[in-house]
Amino acid sequence: MFALHPHLEIVSKTKKARRSRKYPKNVRKAAEEQRKIKDKKTKKKKKKQENYNQWGYLRHQYSGDELIAVRQQFNIWKRRIDLVANPVKPESWPWLNDGKFLFELDRISDMKKTWHELDVESRKNIWPTAMLSTLHLCPEKAVQVLEATFDPLPPGYAILDVAHFCILNLKLKDLRTMRDLYAKADEVLELFAKLIEDLPSGHVPFRQSTLGYLAKKLPVEQTAEAFQILQRSGIKLHRNTLLHFARKLAGSNAYKGLAFGILRGIADEGHDLNSPGFASVTTTLLLSRQAKKMWTEPDESFSPQQALEYFLERGFSPNLINFTSLVKSLCLHGDIAEAIRLPLLLAENGVELDNRCYTTVFRGAKTSLKASNIQLALDVARVAKVPYVDVLNNALHSIFYFAGMESRDRHYPAPWTQPMFGPMLRIYAKKFDLEPLQWLLPDTLPLILSQEDLDGTEKFRSGPIREWEFRNTIIPVINAFFERNDAPRQTPNAQTLAIMLRAYIQTIYRPYDIMAFYSFFKSRLEEHGTEKNWAQEMVKDQGSVVHDTLIRVMVQRKALLRPALQVFGDMLRDTLTSHFDKIQAHPTPSVFTFSVLVNGLFVRGEKMMGEQVLQVMREHNLEHNDVTWNTLAKGYASMQNLLQTVGTLQDLEADGYKPDAYTFKAFSRLKDQTRALEAMEKIIEENKKRLEQDHSQYCITQ
């Protein structure tokens, strides 16, 4: 996406305003209604065409009275399946309870036994209404009932409609655990495998829309299996159906090779590679996700560069979004030199690089932890349409990042302090006004800058004496960059100030100095009547990032555990009072805020206090993310609380998250892992029994 020139932005906004005046709200609402009516007509037309095609297939297989009977059965079925899809007064359906004798049973073997107790003619007659009854009253048992009633074989069109209904109504997100999710997905996959591989060839007239929904609804592992089953069967897939499969598979590092094979087949058949659909899937294909240690390994044979070259040779015209995806993938694979060379090559050929492309390059350069790559990334900034202040901010943040990662790599004990503020302030002062930063800090900045020592006053040298590599790697590069350009002095924005404040907080060592800073910062934040409040503007733009850094630093020191809770309390207080007085100085706590605080409390053995903070989190309607769950698992495991650790892992799965490398690392802190695994299996079995009872009770009460 290209950045607009300021004049063009004004023109664009003016046009939007004119459109808004030209089309008042009631006119736009009417247009929306018309669009819905049109969509409804299109769907109805498509449905009619599908029914026509199905009947066209059937009418050539029958004749005479038999054809009339088959036609009547076909029409009745289609009317009733439409009723189930859009139920109106279902209590009036005479066949509403026809499926209860099957779906009230727990096991498919019991369903088959009950089904075969009926004579063949009775089975033929009751199958349609029994199946429709199940779809409406107990849809979660529909797959089992369908598989139990394949003797005698129902009409192919009806089997397909039931299968289509099952996949369309597959709501995997509603399932409590990943185990249940995959079990349900496997159930649907196995059904389609039976329809394709076990039933007579051609009996089920598969629709492309059904196969497309199969790709969209199933998890990626089952989608890959479904595609391979379809390949073996020889069922011809439409280009759009292939794109559905490719899109799902391309989103997973483990299946990019398979997705590339699908797209390669589309390209080789001469289809338009510059259509929006193909270009969108290509973007997904070229974009590698952040690698996590999971059970499925990434496809090492897939190369984003080779994939793009293949499509280029066949007429594909990539856009900047495609290139940015490729750049991100190169960064994740550690090929920073190529990730930087590509944007420079684009710029030489007249392509205007946008902020997103540049940010991707710089992020990759930072994560490489090589100052030479930062130097190259700054070269990209010169040819990209990026605000100069943003470039300076990225440069400053690279020092912050390098210092933080170095303290982790060396496994220094807490508290983790990095002497970066002094050097960063000297660099900052070469391009930015001091006034806004001075307004936020209790120290006299010119005094710090006047010191011969690079770190400034004694306050910033109070931490343990260590040799730091970042002083000799990244600082000289950024210093040279700030000195090189003759651009006028800049006004720092909210991000600039947040970076510098975080550097300040992580540099000071003594608890007293940390408390003194917060006291000063809090007074500035709560100050009213000033012409320009830099603290409030920063918090409004950057959220809780400074408060989070403060809490993280405080919980590393036992003496500052209570003050950390006070900072958290200030955030909560302002969140609550702002609803009444509309004034909020402190930011609302984020999920990250809660995670940092809970982790610190657990590390300090304050389990009860940590759980109270979690209760507050729930009261504020904040959902746990994978970081929060892993933090909890780590905390409970460190305290050797077996049941709480196992319960947390269960809750993590119930929330829809997969255990990752951090989860397994947290679990490994338990000394008695065998007992923990046994406890986990016991909980799983109890949950499974409870869910089965709930399902049975639900079906009986319908």
Interval 175-191 mean pLDDT? 85
pLDDT at 8: 24
Residue 259, judged by CB atoms within 10 A of its CB (0-12, 13-18, 19+), counts as: buried
Of 313 and 460, more confident: 313
Interval 12-36 mean pLDDT? 56
Rounded CA separation 342/323 (Å): 8
Rounded CA separation 492/413 (Å): 34
pLDDT at 98: 97
* Res. 66 pLDDT band, cuts 50 70 90: confident
pLDDT at 663: 76
The percentage of residues in the chain with a pLDDT greater than 70, rounded to a whole number, is 86
pLDDT at 14: 34
Q: Give the length of the chain.
A: 702
The percentage of residues in the chain with a pLDDT greater than 90, rounded to a whole number, is 55
pLDDT at 644: 79
Of 191 and 12, more confident: 191
Rounded CA separation 82/104 (Å): 24
Highest mean pLDDT among 13-27, 161-175, 206-220: 206-220
pLDDT at 40: 67
Cα–Cα distances in angstroms (integers) from residue 141 to residues 96, 146, 167, 177, 184, in the given order: 15, 9, 13, 18, 11
- Within a domain: 677: yes
pLDDT at 12 over 50: no
- Whether 610 and 701 map to the same domain: the answer is yes
- Whether 530 and 653 map to the same domain: the answer is no
- Whether 538 and 600 map to the same domain: the answer is no
Question: Which tens digit of pLDDT belongs to each residue from 485-514?
Answer: 778 899 999 999 999 999 999 999 999 999
* Res. 25 pLDDT band, cuts 50 70 90: low
Of 655 and 10, more confident: 655
pLDDT at 386: 87
pLDDT at 626: 78
Q: Residue 641: which domain range?
A: 590-702
pLDDT at 688: 56
pLDDT at 245 over 70: yes
Interval 638-658 mean pLDDT? 75
Q: How many CB atoms lie within 10 A of CB 225?
A: 17
Q: Three-state SS for 353? A: strand
- Whether 618 and 551 map to the same domain: the answer is no
Name every residue whose Cβ is closer than 8 Å to that of residue 363 and which is 6 or more positions away in sequence: 331
- Within a domain: 317: no
Residue 544, judged by CB atoms within 10 A of its CB (0-12, 13-18, 19+), counts as: buried
* Res. 249 pLDDT band, cuts 50 70 90: very high
Structure-token pair, residue 47: 């449905």
pLDDT at 9: 35
- Whether 402 and 547 map to the same domain: the answer is yes
Q: Minimum mean pLDDT among 24-28, 237-241, 475-479: which range? A: 24-28
pLDDT at 647 over 60: yes
pLDDT at 701 over 90: no
Rounded CA separation 154/120 (Å): 12
Residue of 243, 247, 212 lying closest to 226 (CA atoms)? 212
* Res. 46 pLDDT band, cuts 50 70 90: confident
- Within a domain: 657: yes
Interval 518-529 mean pLDDT? 93
- Within a domain: 24: yes
Residue with tokens 């007239």: 205
Q: Is the omega angle on the peptide bond into residue 139 within 30 degrees of 0, that is, cis?
A: no
Highest mean pLDDT among 371-380, 459-468, 681-690: 371-380
Structure-token pair, residue 461: 């040298």
Interval 376-397 mean pLDDT? 91
* Res. 174 pLDDT band, cuts 50 70 90: confident
* Res. 686 pLDDT band, cuts 50 70 90: low
Q: Three-state SS for 396? A: helix
Residue of 166, 254, 176, 256 lying closest to 218 (CA atoms)? 166
Of 263 and 42, more confident: 263
pLDDT at 467: 86
Mean pLDDT (the chain) is 85
Interval 545-549 mean pLDDT? 97
- Whether 433 and 548 map to the same domain: the answer is yes
Long-range contacts of 256-264 (CB under 8 A, 24+ apart): 256/285, 256/288, 256/298, 256/299, 256/302, 257/299, 257/301, 257/302, 258/224, 258/227, 258/299, 259/285, 260/285, 260/302, 260/307, 262/227, 263/307, 263/311, 264/310
- Whether 417 and 537 map to the same domain: the answer is yes
* Res. 290 pLDDT band, cuts 50 70 90: low
* Res. 58 pLDDT band, cuts 50 70 90: confident
Interval 1-29 mean pLDDT? 42
- Whether 548 and 666 map to the same domain: the answer is no
- Within a domain: 599: yes
- Within a domain: 559: yes
- Within a domain: 164: no
Structure-token pair, residue 624: 């746990």
Structure-token pair, residue 575: 């969140």
Residue with tokens 């000195």: 483
Residue of 488, 580, 504, 502 lying closest to 546 (CA atoms)? 502
- Within a domain: 428: yes
Between CA 91 and CA 100, with CA 97 as vertex, the angle to 5 degrees is: 145
Q: Are 104 and 700 in contact (CB under 8 A)?
A: yes
Residue of 670, 684, 604 lying closest to 642 (CA atoms)? 670
Question: Which tens digit of pLDDT belongs to each residue from 585-641?
Answer: 899 998 899 989 998 898 888 888 988 998 888 888 777 777 787 888 787 887 887
Beta bridge partners of 391: none
Q: How many CB atoms lie within 10 A of CB 437?
A: 20
Interval 218-236 mean pLDDT? 96
Q: Are 377 and 370 in contact (CB under 8 A)?
A: no
Rounded CA separation 478/207 (Å): 60
Residue of 133, 125, 170, 179 lying closest to 152 (CA atoms)? 125
Rounded CA separation 480/371 (Å): 12
Question: Which tens digit of pLDDT belongs to each residue from 89-102?
Answer: 999 999 999 999 99
- Whether 530 and 637 map to the same domain: the answer is no
* Res. 13 pLDDT band, cuts 50 70 90: very low
Sign of CA dihedral 475, 478, 483, 489: negative
Q: Minimum mean pLDDT among 244-253, 351-360, 426-435, 684-693: which range? A: 684-693
Q: What is the full DSSP assignment across 87-148?
A: -SSGGG-TTTTTTHHHHTSSSHHHHHHHHHTS-HHHHHHHHHHHHHHHHHH-GGGHHHHHHH
Backbone angles phi, psi at 242, to 5 degrees: -60, -40
- Whether 409 and 451 map to the same domain: the answer is yes
In the chain, the amino acid numbered 195 is L
User: For the chain, what is the total number of helices (H) and then of strands (E)?
Assistant: 35, 0
In the chain, the amino acid numbered 202 is G
Highest mean pLDDT among 60-69, 292-301, 415-424, 633-642: 415-424
Report the domain count for the chain: 3
pLDDT at 623: 76
Question: Which tens digit of pLDDT belongs to each residue from 110-123?
Answer: 999 999 999 999 99
- Whether 479 and 544 map to the same domain: the answer is yes
pLDDT at 56 over 80: no
- Whether 669 and 562 map to the same domain: the answer is no
pLDDT at 559: 92
Q: What is the full DSSP assignment across 617-678?
A: HHHTTPPP-HHHHHHHHHHHHHTT-HHHHHHHHHHHHHTTPPP-HHHHHHHTT-S-HHHHHH
* Res. 581 pLDDT band, cuts 50 70 90: low
pLDDT at 283 over 60: yes
pLDDT at 209 over 70: yes
